[in-house]
Structure 1
Amino acid sequence: MDQKLLTDFRSELLDSRFGAKAISTIAESKRFPLHEMRDDVAFQIINDELYLDGNARQNLATFCQTWDDENVHKLMDLSINKKLDRQEEYPQSAAIDLRCVNMVADLWHAPAPKNGQAVGTNTIGFFRGLYARRMAMKWRWRKRMEAAGKPTDKPTWCAVRYKSAGINSPATGMWSCVRSLCAPVSCLWTRNA
């Protein structure tokens, strides 16, 4: 092995994260780099980039929690490699999921299920939860319409959303056969409230 290359390699191993040669260049963003990088250096680069994001712990306007206990993160680490859609592979995770559904149903005073299991699902992200909620509203509406002998092929109700709502809101209306109306947000509303 070339002596200079060996010396460079040894010095690279002895460098601290911030003094490593790999961190002195711009990290690749569109393709895999030609040379490998130490895992601690790669972690440090991504960790430093994430500091540019907002801090949910200091942002009380976010929909996310602002603080999590250390044990919550330990449990998430234990489950990070499990796929939510493979419940037959992970039966205990699925059982815990169903317990959480029952607890949330009880919290919101949902009607007691006959079989002991509340109807619900887990979601990833706010809009998935919103979509699931609108689908539940649609099924309740359909049940009421069928009981009254009215047609269910065309929606007779609509979901009003603000223009500032995310891009998924109109799609939610489309997929759940709900007419989605867009209301303008106005500072006058706060004066009249």
Structure 2
Amino acid sequence: MGTLPHDDDAEMFGNRFAIEEVPTSSFPTGGMSAVDAMRLVGEDLALEGDPARNLATFVTTWMEPEAQRVIAANLHRNFIDHAEYPRTAEIEQRCIRMLADLFHAPGETTGARTQGSSEAIMLGALSLKWNWRKRRESAGASTSSPNLVFGGDVHVVWEKFCRYFDVEPRIVPLKPGKYTIGPEDVAPHVDENTIGVAAVLGTTFTGHKDDVVGIDQLLVRLKQERGIDVPLHVDAASGGFVWPFLYPDSPWDFRLEQVRSINVSGHKFGLVYPGIGWLIFRERSDLAPELVFEENYLGKTDATFTLNFSTGSAMVLAQYYNLVRYGRHGYTYVMRNMQLNARVLAEKLQAMGRFELIGADEEQLPLVAFRLAEPQAYDEFDIAWQLSAERGWMVPAYTLPPDAQDVTIMRALVKQTLSREHVDTLARDIEEACATLDKKGGVHESERRKVVTGSGH
């Protein structure tokens, strides 16, 4: 057995970690050169999946070089230091005002940037709870049993909120063939202890929206007939940057009377890298003032409404870059391109005669949700595994929430970087994957578990 190469040789001719174990558990005693550290991290990441073939995640995986320069130049700025970086604070407010305008806020409003929609939802739901408690106290009623109504098609953060902040979750189950909720589903669960109803614009499961108009009409009737004022929060994490441009005449936002707050993820169809989210209120009064902290920090008194404190400025600035770079016209162009490619992929899948499309004729995010039309010797998980193993595509397969848990679907998200040529290639690869599975049958269960089945938040 030969001796290990000298460190000088590794530095001159190669990589010291070509044959050495990398640090994994113990805190390193000594350091290493910047080049070695960079190569070490790079070699780990070389084993990652290709973001361009990740059709599972809704999160942005590409931005323009100019946007990347804005991000790189501002990674060192702490957003919360408003005294030191007042222009960044002003740019945040510009974004809030622009989004409020996009969502048809009727007048002066307020909001906040967040790390993503999860934080925005936590903050929005807290405001619902605080405002409900204030209404109950004014009426001399009990505040001991708050509940929140939402469907099984929501992101898990809604259940987290209920558990963390002691609110009863009233979850409307889904049904086979019905993967969103409407007023008839919500009505039995709403009472005087309901702090709010959450409706989804663009579910992560099938890309559709809850019947926001119908739920709003139900809540308006409750207010008029029973005096119960239940606000509606729209979880527009995915759809808030899609519906205004693809379906501008479809009301779901502050055009509806009971919609009091909206969250949206800038790092999804807002086309910004993670993490950036936004929470927008209909009016200033919809933000419970008790949740806003006046804080003297670094010589300046600031009002803060946030769960996180220190965070980078870069993604706020990147969001503003996109808003002014694209405008309504540009966002419409990008969204329509994605929608057109999604329709092409849907047509190709349907032409194969193997698949059933899920709600392709409805308002939908730019994606294709589909499932096998007939039972085969393999299932959707097998197709997802075959695509990943042979072609590197990450197309998730997953079961739906209760009571539709027996339904398995696949979902291909068509993003800005998925060109028409990529769509054609993906369709061919899906057909070839099925042809391979026709011959060999399903993949062994232990292999199937390796498939990424997450909903791509």
TM-score, length-scaled by structure 2: 0.33
Q: 8 Å contact 1:56–1:66 — kept in the other structure?
A: yes
- Structure 1 residues 110 and 164, CA, compared in 2 at 3 Å: closer, same or farther? closer
Question: Which residue, out of 4, 7, 11, partners 1:13?
Answer: 11
Secondary structure, counterpart of 2:150 in structure 1: strand
Structure-1 residue corresponding to 2:121: 130
Q: 8 Å contact 1:60–1:66 — kept in the other structure?
A: no
Question: Which residue, out of 26, 36, 39, partners 1:41?
Answer: 36
Structure-2 residue corresponding to 1:64: 59
More strand by share: 2
Larger Rg belongs to: 1
Secondary structure, counterpart of 2:170 in structure 1: strand
The Cα shift of 1:42 comes to: 1.7
The Cα shift of 1:80 comes to: 1.5
Q: 8 Å contact 2:96–2:110 — kept in the other structure?
A: yes
Higher relative contact order, structure no. (Cα contacts within 8 Å, ≥ 6 residues apart): 2
The Cα shift of 1:8 comes to: 3.6
- Is 2:150 the counterpart of 1:160? yes
Secondary structure, counterpart of 1:189 in structure 2: coil
The Cα shift of 1:156 comes to: 5.4
Structure-1 residue corresponding to 2:216: none
Question: Which residue, out of 159, 162, 186, partners 1:173?
Answer: 162
Task: Provide the C-alpha distance between the structure 2 equivalents of 1:159 and 1:53, rounded to a whole number of angstroms.
Answer: 39
Secondary structure, counterpart of 2:149 in structure 1: strand
More helix by share: 1
Task: Provide the C-alpha distance between the structure 2 equivalents of 1:187 and 1:48, rounded to a whole number of angstroms.
Answer: 45
Identity across aligned pairs (percent)?
A: 22
Task: Provide the C-alpha distance between the structure 2 equivalents of 1:152 and 1:87, rounded to a whole number of angstroms.
Answer: 40
Over the aligned positions, Cα root-mean-square deviation in angstroms equals 3.5
Structure-2 residue corresponding to 1:92: 87
The Cα shift of 1:64 comes to: 1.0
TM-score, length-scaled by structure 1: 0.69
- Structure 1 residues 176 and 109, CA, compared in 2 at 3 Å: closer, same or farther? farther
Q: How does 1:82-121 map to 2 (within 5 A)?
A: 82-113=77-108, 118-121=109-112
| Alignment: residue pair count | 177
Q: 8 Å contact 1:101–1:121 — kept in the other structure?
A: yes
